[in-house]
Structure formats: structure tokens, C-alpha cells
């Protein structure tokens, strides 16, 4: 969690510096946005999906709602909540048969983002970078049929994300945008942690201390 905070603090300092150089106020500082699209789950056992020719099942869907405020044309903040349908798998190499143990779960995540507008003097096109801290609540786990592991009824995790937005303003009030982002959560996000035996007995184990997912979205933004 300390690493998350440090990365976010560095991003905030960069945003503050850019905002100080471009401190022109925005006529319509408030915004509300809606988005939807797909996601790709990448957790510690995702490799078992492509080992079993099931990679397509790592794709899910997501939809989000958010509110934001632009302090200047260069810098703003936003709060966004997203519902997602995710895929994961139980520890494969902890069983003699090295079976495939897929499961799904839903999540609601919320992030507070700092947003940098890379084209503050633009009229129609606004590329933006953002980074945020937040968390997720996971629920509706399906049974993975693992001989020793069981999915929980729910779990919670801290998270960090970074992303890029390309917004096209079609009027002073309405914009359409594409949003690409990556989110990393602490290991409770998918409800499954690698065991010590899994890590020690599996040379080249593709373990990672975060449960990661990538999101691609299209959305509408309303400025007022």
C-alpha cells in the first residue's frame, strides 16, 4: 500500500506543476460521465486459462459512473465507481492432477483520480492522463471445484490505477471519450492467494503481488 501512495504522490506533484503553469479557469468545471466496455483479468493463475485454450474467458465486461471537477484547464479530480465481471482460477499446481479450476466473480470498485489534461488550450480534443487510489468489493463468486481451496462469499482489496482518456468535445456541454486503463489490486481482490508450496515447488511460477486487470471503455461526458 505504501508503494501505491508513493506513486500517486509523484503523479500529484507532476499534476500540480503542470496546473501552476496552466492555471486558466474552466467555464464548466463540473462533469459527470458514463462509460462501458470490456476488461481482461490477469491474476496469479490466469496462465491456466491459456494452457487450456480458454483465454477468451478472461475477458469480461464493465460499466462505470463518475463525477469530476476541473480546478484549471490542466488539472482536475474525479471519483468513479465501476461494476465489473471478472475471471480467475484456483491454484493449479497444488493438486496432483494439475487441474484447471476457473471461476468468476463480480466486483464494485471506486477510485479517486488526479487528472492531467495534456492539451489545456485545446478546443475539441483533450488527451488526459490520470492516476488514482481506491479499492474494490468482490462478491458473487462461483465455485472453482478445487479440492482444497474454496471461493469466499465476498472480499475487499485496496487498489491503484493509471489510465489514458481521449475526449472529443462535440459541444461545450457534451463530450465523447475513449478510456484505456490498468488497475492493480491487493491479492484479496480475486479471493484466492498462491500458497507457499505453489511458489516454492513451481520453477518460473508467474506469481505477482497484485491482481491486475485492463479496461477499455467508451463513454459520454457532460460538463456544467
Maximum Cα–Cα distance across the chain = 64
Computed over its alpha carbons, how large is the radius of gyration of the chain? 20
Q: What is the pLDDT of residues 75-102, one digit of tens each?
A: 999 999 999 999 999 988 777 788 899 9
Domain 2-20+31-223: top CATH class: mainly beta
What pLDDT sits at residue 7? 56
Residues 111-153 have pLDDT tens digits of: 999 999 999 999 899 999 999 999 999 999 999 999 888 899 9
Choose between 3 and 26: higher pLDDT. Answer: 26
Q: Cα(165)–Cα(167) distance, rounded to whole angstroms? A: 6
Structure confidence at residue 45 (pLDDT): 87
Rounded mean pLDDT, 48-67: 96
Helix (H, G, I), strand (E, B) or coil at 119: coil
- Better-predicted residue by pLDDT, 24 or 84: 84
The answer, yes or no, to whether residue 35 has pLDDT greater than 60, is: yes
| Domain ranges (residues) in the chain | 2-20+31-223
Within 10 angstroms of residue 24's Cβ, the number of other Cβ atoms is 10
pLDDT at 148: 85
Q: Where are the alpha helices (DSSP H) in the chain?
A: 2-21, 47-51, 196-200
Amino acid at each position: 500500500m505504501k508503494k501505491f501512495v508513493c506513486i500517486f504522490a509523484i503523479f500529484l506533484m507532476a499534476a500540480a506543476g503542470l496546473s501552476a503553469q496552466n492555471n486558466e479557469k474552466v467555464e464548466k468545471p463540473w462533469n459527470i460521465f458514463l462509460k462501458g466496455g470490456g476488461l481482461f483479468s490477469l491474476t496469479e493463475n490466469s496462465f491456466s486459462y491459456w494452457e487450456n485454450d480458454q483465454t477468451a474467458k478472461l475477458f469480461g465486461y464493465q460499466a462505470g459512473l463518475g463525477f469530476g471537477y476541473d480546478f484549471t484547464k490542466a488539472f482536475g479530480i474525479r471519483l468513479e465507481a465501476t461494476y465489473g465481471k471478472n475471471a480467475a482460477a484456483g491454484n493449479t499446481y497444488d493438486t496432483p492432477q494439475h487441474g484447471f479450476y476457473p471461476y468468476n466473480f463480480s466486483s464494485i470498485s471506486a477510485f479517486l483520480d488526479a487528472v492531467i489534461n495534456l492539451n489545456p488550450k485545446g478546443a475539441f480534443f483533450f488527451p488526459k492522463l490520470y492516476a488514482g487510489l481506491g479499492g474494490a468489493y468482490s462478491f458473487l463468486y462461483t465455485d472453482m471445484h478445487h479440492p482444497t481451496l474454496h471461493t469466499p462469499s465476498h472480499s475487499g482489496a485496496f487498489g491503484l490505477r493509471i489510465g489514458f482518456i481521449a475526449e472529443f468535445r462535440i459541444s461545450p456541454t457534451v463530450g465523447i471519450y475513449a478510456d484505456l486503463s490498468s488497475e492493480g489490486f491487493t491479492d484479496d481482490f480475486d479471493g484466492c492467494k498462491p500458497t507457499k508450496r505453489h511458489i516454492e515447488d513451481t520453477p518460473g511460477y508467474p506469481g505477482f503481488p497484485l491482481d491486475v486487470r485492463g479496461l477499455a471503455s467508451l463513454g459520454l461526458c457532460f460538463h456544467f
